[in-house]
Structure 1
Amino acid sequence: MKFIGTNDLRESYLKFFESKDHLRLKSFSLVPKNDKSLLLINAGMAPLKPYFTGLQEPPRKRITTCQKCIRTGDIENVGKTSRHGTFFEMLGNFSFGDYFKEEIIPWAWEFITKELEIPKDRLYVTIYLEDDEAFEIWKKSTDIDTNRIFRLGKEDNFWEHGAGPCGPCTEIHFDKDPSKGAVTSAEEFVRESDNDRIIEFWNLVFTQFDGDGKGNYERLQNPNIDTGMGLERIATIMQGVDNIFEIDTVKNILGTVSKLSGVNYGEDPAKDISLRIITDHVKSVTMMICDGIQPSNEGRGYVLRRLLRRAARHGRVLGIKGIFLNEVVQSVVDNYGGEYDELISKNDYIKKIITLEEERFNETIDSGMGILLGYIDELQASKENVLSGEKAFKLYDTYGFPYELTEEILEEKGMSIDREAFDKEMNSQRERARSARGEFTYMGGEDSPVNSVPGEIETEFIGYEKSQIEGEILFLGTDEEVRESLVEGEKGFIVTDKTPFYAEMGGQVGDKGTITSDNFKIFVYDTKKNVGGKIIHYVKVQEGEVKVGDKGILEIDIKRRKSICKNHTATHMLHEALREVIGEHVNQSGSYVDSERLRFDFTHFQGVTPEELRKVEDLVNEKIMDVFNVDTNEMTLEEAKTKGAMALFDDKYGDLVRVVEVGDYSIELCGGTHVCNSGEIGLFKIVNESGVAAGMRRIEAITGFEAIKYMEEKENTLKNACSTLKCNEKDIIKRIQGQASEIKEKEKEINELKAKLTSGAEDDIINSAKDINGVKVVVYDLEDVDGNALRDLGDKIRNKIGSGVVVLLSKASGKVNLVAMSTKDVINNGIHCGKIIKEVATVVGGGGGGRPDMAQAGGKSPENIDKAMEKAYEVIQSLVK
């Protein structure tokens, strides 16, 4: 067999199916679109579900892809087996009601035996036991030996996922060791597959039924083809290796990890596991961050964080010191950047995010270690040797402390973890996550009337050119059901044949407005797209009754739309200004545009300085005043890239894209609505800048009349301040500084007076001393003394009494200050100020602690001071030996 590199295999497959009239699409993002049933894309067909269900029209009836996928269900096995990995690529070709078994079976055989030149005597095929049709096609349309075709049951050769499209499948298998002789029966085939001699590498699914999930099937009018071949799996076959970590691209990354750690692969089985885990996980997190996923404590961000921290943890196992994962990232980019060019453009950004997260993990490890050592102390004190599953899970879940590390450290102390209780906590968390996602259909959308709009219903959007038009009602309903009509007072949704209403998309909110006729008046309070991409008008009927088939005038709120347009165009200009002022690394990560303000999220690793913000704001306003024409044109994606258009290139675009140009200043791909020239924006004002995630900043801004109103409010505030301070605007800073100095002086005088008053109380405090088992004890309550003054007073009292313990309490500004001090000699009698203050502070609703000779605390319940004083005597009595 000839050696074929992994990248060449991918290209060979995609080109082959292009030759069979398939449209080649780039991999979709790992982040599912309109699919709440998935956290991450985990199969080649997952992003194409709306095409299979008929909710969306595919760009072509035949499509081929190499899809990036993440699966973490078997994460514990990654590195330990030859096949488990969290990131993989799935080669696929798909037919949406076009060709079927008669075409795909011979094509598959052609690709395998002619393109890849795999010997036929090393191939086996399985089919569903009742699929005579597939058997006949294999027999007549290929030259396979029919003795190498085996019929298997539903669990092996029938693809089904709850209710929805399903059908039989045929799988193609490779014999790793033909020297053992040909397999002659289905039973022997299953046995040899279980023994890992025969491996499946390509699954051809014939989606020909609609199942109800209860064993009942109806034949689809237009059956589909859905195939999947793991790129890594076929690469192991073509490269003569038995491990996905030994194929060329992955082996190159593993070699980088080996070099960084100084550990040679293949010499130590335990260390090999760590090398493989780091290789796999860094590949995964690189791809995830490239697709816009950020580390977090929930959802896909949690998956990312877990993988990244697991990789960092195994770096420590291999003895790697300090930050290293970003160096592995470069190897991922070098090996995968040819296919996924966004890895190259986002290389620095990915490395920065990973570095920040690895640094944070190192800090977490240190803090988690302190907590774990505390647990160990508790176990030793109680003469136990099993850490509770709840505590181990808290370390893992709350502090990000890896289970393996907890287990390893405990083993060194002769201890273990209650694994059963830990697993119970883990399963509870998974169940909570599943419940939070709720129940969804095959498509992954909520099973609701609004998502049941038939695929053949299309709405023409004419909102770029017109703000009103006559349209026909094609479909309507409520949250509960599809209906034929809506009456006065009812809320629901309406689909029309054409509309000027822009549906929320690309960060721009949906339009509001009205639909009217002689028979009804309807308020449109929002416009969105459903999971099938249909434009949905969310409405309330104000007058009359509207029925399917009725016609009406659809008119948007034009004043609101104009304000939205101002903010949207300003967002494009802000993007360009940020790149010009801060740097070319700035990329849009998200946006929100409504009639009142705009919000723009972008990649940047530190706060934008006030000087930079001022430059950005000035630059945008300068371009507004240049009164640039805003032009929109349709062109191919390649033409748009050639022109330098910015875009979220992980998004999917059709054959033609819409390009928005603001003069010669800004050019972006965008489907939203915009002003005709930049001068319409009027004024641009930044109102806030903040961080939203690691490596992610957010700017909020306003335009037009909202900006003018904002400036007027600021002006009124300034005038009121001048009036209050009795000065003019140019002197206001000087007046405020003068008053601040005056207040500071007054506070100094007040503190000095308080100090004199407390000094005068020293004799009274000392005279209140009590004797507890031979120890002089002073517990005293003062009024309006802050923490610093209380500590100074305590020090003086301690020095004057010569031997003993002092506890002082003071109510100040509605809170309680506490301090406890003792002379050295009484510590030997059992006095410990930290223990005293801890218990006393609890009584006044606070907490604190400290050393044996000095401790302080605060509380928020001054009404309990008398009880706290009693508690002080009580605790001291219990401590004195």
Structure 2
Amino acid sequence: MQTAEISRRYLDFFAQRGHTIVPSAPLVSDDPTLLFTVAGMVPFVPYLTGTVPAPFPRAADVQKCIRTNDIEEVGKTARHGTFFQMLGNWSFGDYFKEGAIEYAWELLTSPESSGGLGFAERDLWVTVYETDDEAAALWQKIAGLPAERIQRLGKEDNYWHTGQPGPGGPCSEIYFDRGPKYGRDGGPAVDDDRFTEIWNLVFMQELIANVTSKVDFDVVGPLPKKNIDTGMGLERVAFIKQGVENMYEIDQVRPVLDRASELSGRRYGAEHEDDVRMRIIADHVRSSLMLMSDGVTPSNEGRGYILRRLLRRSIRAMRLLGVDGPTFHDLFAASRDAMKVAYPEVDRGYAHIEQLALGEEETFLRTLAGGTTILDVAVQKTKAAGRGELAGDTAFLLHDTYGFPIELTLEMADEAGLAVDRAAFDSLMSDQRARAKADAKSKKKVLADLSVYGEFRAKGETIFTGYTDLTTETSVLGILVEGAPAQRAVAGQTAEVILAETSLYAESGGQAPDQGAIVGDGFELEVLDVQKPVAGLISHTVKVVRGEVGVGTAATTVVDADYRRGATQAHSGTHLVHAALRQVLGPNAHQSGSFNKAGYLRLDYGWNKTLSPETRSEIEEISNNAIRDNLEVVTREMPLDEARELGAMALFGEKYGDVVRVVDIGGPWSRELCAGTHVSTSAEVGMINIIGESSVGASNRRVESLVGLEAFRQFAAERALVQQLTQNLKTRPDQLVERVGDLVQGLKAAEKKIQAFEARALSDRVPALAANAARVGEVLLVAEHVGALGSGDDLRSLATAVRARLGDVASVVALTAEVGGKPLAIVATSPAARDAGANAGSLAKRMAGVLGGGGGGKPDLAQGGGTDVSAVPAALEAVRGELGH
């Protein structure tokens, strides 16, 4: 049974039993504490905790998940994968234990011919929480399971909670017996390799507190509503139904494994280490494909770092299979073909995904060779020194300069029989992050613990009126001071204010929040930030400027009209630049992120080449032509499927609801899904002035632009600069480039003459310096301070010229000069002097020590420097002392 068919049967089964079918949430989680959706329940947490009212009493879904905490086990076991899919059915105060058990048993054991999954009852075991007599009795009643196939386990295995105070409850897990070939008999309590968990039914019925660990918490009472949260591992069910050994061999994963086998010429099943590598490749390529289809791009931070690590581990595994060249073109195509039936968006966005993957592969293959050489040399030196641990600074160099994830260095060092000084590496990384953040100041205030918003959200969604109104009369639903609910906030305090309605735009879709105020009878609040802490709720971070505001008070939101005008210009300008980019570069130049505020826009897009000045000008001209043409801007709300049929562009990886807002500029010329605020016609944007274009990754670039009045001001400043230059240089604006070019050429010619003069002046000093040679010990010594010079090269040339002037005799030339306000010393020795024991390197080091610095070099020519100019005579005397011994 194909994986997509298992999903279809699951959803059909629950749809026929009154469940709302919910599409998978993106892999990028809305939860600010999570990088990814790590479990099927993550998108439903607001409903399970009561923070947001559930929009349906029962639901079912197939949720995409990414979990990388067990990445080292990938390829080694039958069930560890970074990307996996959870089949779930959910009840929010509707059915409970009996219903969940009935549904699970019916779906699992019903014949395939009637839409079930066709598991034999004799192969299924269950576990329940040790004190859950009700669940044990229901399994006997509904499934007819004998008591010995219902095992009771403790909190570690059969009690679920989030790890935080809140809902929890016992759970019941269903296991499949793979048979005696895979381990001991006796059920899941004895051997969880033979007995594979396929489904977990969580009976969420209790409120817990004082949580310190998985097993250490207090049950403080029952939940007002009992919920059901189940999760069935799609990959686990698939490998059992398809009769293969592990999840890497199912229909959605095996094609990548087979392609890796073909490219490497290694047969899968022939050698254990090669098998592990092929399974790693198959898993990581699929995981990377799905992450990029949800908008994640490779980078050195956060989600992008996880993706980069997966991609680079895949490349590394292919190299260990003997393939040094690029392979992602073939591997990703194989994964796309395997996944597109279940996830058509993978196919629709594949051009962008492949561009990202190939760009990352090209970059890493270039750096891998150099980094591997560095590592190999470090390994040899470490072993030669008799140490078993690679230095932390070497690991940091590989990460910082060559882009090696530390995990890759750990793996490669381990293959060579070495550990890595991880503590030293972590310290260097911490220092680097501290330096990077030293000058960064966040404008954001930390929002309160999300659980405090539940009471406010239960009163309904915040109504946003700002598309049409800049002021709105409303009432204060709640106040938070330092993250805790409060009845009032007084002058001087900073607080969060929850309103029933608001005209102030909350940051989203790349648009910065509105600026403005909230006013009422006897109080005035300055708006510092506007955010959406939970779905459907808007929170205003404010400073109480005057008076006192309390819960239940009437209030009016007032948007700063000038700021909003600039923000709408910038957001509409972003759409114009995006359309122009795609017109010039083609459909692969897909927006991957944006930020806009009054007067400024930034747009990231998929591309791997620097824009030429001509291309940049063309994009800017197309954008401004659209402004000149005064295109109508129309916003409409419609079902998501209808919007896609119209060709509306979606931000890559963004999450959208069933009803979306479509923004047209000039009809289909620019048609995007967008919840931001916009102008009425393109002419209101005013002007686009592209001020920068740069790289933000192997296959991503960024364009920045000033918009509206800010764009005009930049042009005005540049015009003033041109006017000043034309006046100073006494030329016309159209001749300015030629005039400046002539000046530059003249300056270069003058510099050459000066250099020639200085060189002649230096050569003229050679005879006098040579004439000052005096015998010290066995050599002739020239030890002189020559004053201020332009560079160290000048002093070096002078020293070698004096040495040549002295001929074949045993001679040492030790010269000092002041270069850039600091003392510099050069020592040159002749062959005969070196035969007599004079060494330029040691002499330069001695002089530098006197000067308060360091130095050294080769026996024939060396240099040193310091900070103390007054010590020059002592440094020269030190040379005389060394040679006179």
TM-score by length of 2: 0.88
- Aligned-pair distance for 1:633? 0.7
State the match for 2:5 in structure 1.
Answer: 8
Structure 1 residues 424, 848: CA separation in 2 closer, same or farther (over 3 Å shift)?
A: closer
Q: Deviations over 1:758-783 (max 9, x none)?
A: 11211233345466764555555442
1:502·1:510 contact (CA, 8 Å) conserved in 2?
Answer: yes
Structure 1 residues 730, 554: CA separation in 2 closer, same or farther (over 3 Å shift)?
A: same
Q: Deviations over 1:564-613 (max 9, x none)?
A: 11111111111111000122101112111111211111111121111111
Matches of 2:180 and 2:381, distance apart in 1:
60
- Aligned-pair distance for 1:117? 0.6
Partner AA of 1:309 in structure 2 = R
The answer to whether the aligner puts 1:119 opposite 2:117 as a matched pair is no
2:252·2:338 contact (CA, 8 Å) conserved in 1?
Answer: yes
The answer to whether the aligner puts 1:208 opposite 2:205 as a matched pair is yes
Q: Deviations over 1:710-769 (max 9, x none)?
A: 221111111122222233323322332232233223222221221122112112333454
Q: 1:189 aligns with which of 175, 187, 190?
A: 187
The answer to whether the aligner puts 1:32 opposite 2:13 as a matched pair is no
Structure 1 residues 542, 808: CA separation in 2 closer, same or farther (over 3 Å shift)?
A: same
2:688·2:708 contact (CA, 8 Å) conserved in 1?
Answer: yes
State the match for 2:622 in structure 1.
Answer: 619
Matches of 1:791 and 1:181, distance apart in 2:
77
Matches of 1:831 and 1:42, distance apart in 2:
69
- Aligned-pair distance for 1:175? 1.0
2:847·2:879 contact (CA, 8 Å) conserved in 1?
Answer: no
Q: 1:685 aligns with which of 681, 686, 689?
A: 689
Matches of 1:9 and 1:234, distance apart in 2:
8
Q: 2:575 aligns with which of 550, 564, 572?
A: 572
- Aligned-pair distance for 1:494? 1.4
Q: 1:527 aligns with which of 530, 536, 553?
A: 530
The answer to whether the aligner puts 1:751 opposite 2:755 as a matched pair is yes
Structure 1 residues 380, 556: CA separation in 2 closer, same or farther (over 3 Å shift)?
A: closer
Structure 1 residues 623, 365: CA separation in 2 closer, same or farther (over 3 Å shift)?
A: closer
State the match for 2:818 in structure 1.
Answer: 811
Secondary structure of the residue aligned to 2:252 is helix
Q: 2:39 aligns with which of 43, 63, 77?
A: 43
Partner AA of 1:753 in structure 2 = F
Matches of 2:293 and 2:360, distance apart in 1:
15
Alignment of structure 1 residues 787-802 onto 2, 5 Å: 787-802=792-807
Structure 1 residues 823, 211: CA separation in 2 closer, same or farther (over 3 Å shift)?
A: same
Structure 1 residues 410, 454: CA separation in 2 closer, same or farther (over 3 Å shift)?
A: closer
Matches of 2:854 and 2:344, distance apart in 1:
55
2:449·2:483 contact (CA, 8 Å) conserved in 1?
Answer: no
1:568·1:674 contact (CA, 8 Å) conserved in 2?
Answer: yes
1:526·1:538 contact (CA, 8 Å) conserved in 2?
Answer: yes
State the match for 1:551 in structure 2.
Answer: 554
Partner AA of 1:17 in structure 2 = F
The answer to whether the aligner puts 1:93 opposite 2:89 as a matched pair is yes
The answer to whether the aligner puts 1:477 opposite 2:474 as a matched pair is no
Q: 2:77 aligns with which of 77, 81, 84?
A: 81
Partner AA of 1:386 in structure 2 = G
Q: Where do 5+ consecutive residues of structure 1 fail to align? A: 438-443
Q: 1:762 aligns with which of 745, 766, 771?
A: 766
Alignment of structure 1 residues 275-674 onto 2, 5 Å: 275-372=278-375, 374-375=377-378, 378-379=381-382, 382=385, 384-388=386-390, 390=392, 393-394=395-396, 397-398=399-400, 400=404, 416-418=417-419, 422=422, 447=449, 451=453, 454-457=456-459, 458-648=461-651, 650-664=653-667, 665-674=669-678
Structure 1 residues 402, 476: CA separation in 2 closer, same or farther (over 3 Å shift)?
A: closer
- Aligned-pair distance for 1:161? 3.3
Structure 1 residues 237, 406: CA separation in 2 closer, same or farther (over 3 Å shift)?
A: closer
Structure 1 residues 608, 843: CA separation in 2 closer, same or farther (over 3 Å shift)?
A: farther
2:204·2:228 contact (CA, 8 Å) conserved in 1?
Answer: yes
State the match for 1:711 in structure 2.
Answer: 715
Secondary structure of the residue aligned to 2:10 is helix
Matches of 1:749 and 1:676, distance apart in 2:
63
Structure 1 residues 61, 800: CA separation in 2 closer, same or farther (over 3 Å shift)?
A: farther
- Aligned-pair distance for 1:171? 0.7
Partner AA of 1:750 in structure 2 = I
State the match for 2:872 in structure 1.
Answer: 866
State the match for 1:441 in structure 2.
Answer: none
Q: 2:739 aligns with which of 735, 739, 743?
A: 735
- Aligned-pair distance for 1:813? 4.3
Matches of 2:584 and 2:448, distance apart in 1:
43
Structure 1 residues 843, 728: CA separation in 2 closer, same or farther (over 3 Å shift)?
A: farther
State the match for 2:443 in structure 1.
Answer: none
Q: Deviations over 1:676-713 (max 9, x none)?
A: 11111122211222222222211111222222222211
Q: Deviations over 1:517-559 (max 9, x none)?
A: 3332333233221145411122223333222111122221122
Structure 1 residues 111, 661: CA separation in 2 closer, same or farther (over 3 Å shift)?
A: same
Q: Deviations over 1:244-263 (max 9, x none)?
A: 22222222111111111110
Task: Work out the number of aligned pairs and report it.
Answer: 856
Q: Deviations over 1:18-75 (max 9, x none)?
A: 3333333333222222422x23322111233222222234453433332222222222
Partner AA of 1:166 in structure 2 = G
Q: Where do 5+ consecutive residues of structure 2 fail to align? A: 111-115, 212-216, 438-445
2:168·2:206 contact (CA, 8 Å) conserved in 1?
Answer: yes
Matches of 2:844 and 2:428, distance apart in 1:
39
Structure 1 residues 386, 559: CA separation in 2 closer, same or farther (over 3 Å shift)?
A: closer
Matches of 1:189 and 1:431, distance apart in 2:
50
1:310·1:402 contact (CA, 8 Å) conserved in 2?
Answer: no
Partner AA of 2:171 in structure 1 = C
Q: 1:64 aligns with which of 48, 52, 60?
A: 60
Structure 1 residues 408, 490: CA separation in 2 closer, same or farther (over 3 Å shift)?
A: closer
1:283·1:332 contact (CA, 8 Å) conserved in 2?
Answer: yes
- Aligned-pair distance for 1:176? 1.2
Secondary structure of the residue aligned to 1:249 is coil
1:364·1:401 contact (CA, 8 Å) conserved in 2?
Answer: no
2:169·2:202 contact (CA, 8 Å) conserved in 1?
Answer: yes
Q: 2:101 aligns with which of 74, 98, 105?
A: 105
Partner AA of 2:330 in structure 1 = E
Partner AA of 2:117 in structure 1 = L
Matches of 2:696 and 2:719, distance apart in 1:
30
The answer to whether the aligner puts 1:20 opposite 2:17 as a matched pair is yes
- Aligned-pair distance for 1:355? 3.4
1:392·1:406 contact (CA, 8 Å) conserved in 2?
Answer: no
Structure 1 residues 233, 824: CA separation in 2 closer, same or farther (over 3 Å shift)?
A: farther
2:814·2:876 contact (CA, 8 Å) conserved in 1?
Answer: no
Q: Identify the range of structure 1 (616-625 vs 85-94) with the bigger mean alpha-carbon deviation.
A: 85-94
Q: Deviations over 1:482-504 (max 9, x none)?
A: 21122233321211111111111
Q: Identify the range of structure 1 (148-157 vs 251-260) with the bigger mean alpha-carbon deviation.
A: 148-157
1:779·1:872 contact (CA, 8 Å) conserved in 2?
Answer: no
Q: 2:263 aligns with which of 236, 254, 260?
A: 260
Matches of 2:505 and 2:362, distance apart in 1:
44
Partner AA of 1:811 in structure 2 = E
Structure 1 residues 369, 695: CA separation in 2 closer, same or farther (over 3 Å shift)?
A: closer
1:365·1:401 contact (CA, 8 Å) conserved in 2?
Answer: no
TM-score by length of 1: 0.88
1:165·1:211 contact (CA, 8 Å) conserved in 2?
Answer: yes
Matches of 2:623 and 2:870, distance apart in 1:
59
Structure 1 residues 798, 13: CA separation in 2 closer, same or farther (over 3 Å shift)?
A: farther
Partner AA of 2:187 in structure 1 = F
Secondary structure of the residue aligned to 1:611 is helix
Taking only the aligned residue pairs, the percentage that are identical comes to 38
Structure 1 residues 491, 426: CA separation in 2 closer, same or farther (over 3 Å shift)?
A: closer
Matches of 1:350 and 1:769, distance apart in 2:
72
Structure 1 residues 877, 203: CA separation in 2 closer, same or farther (over 3 Å shift)?
A: farther
Secondary structure of the residue aligned to 1:509 is coil
Partner AA of 2:736 in structure 1 = I
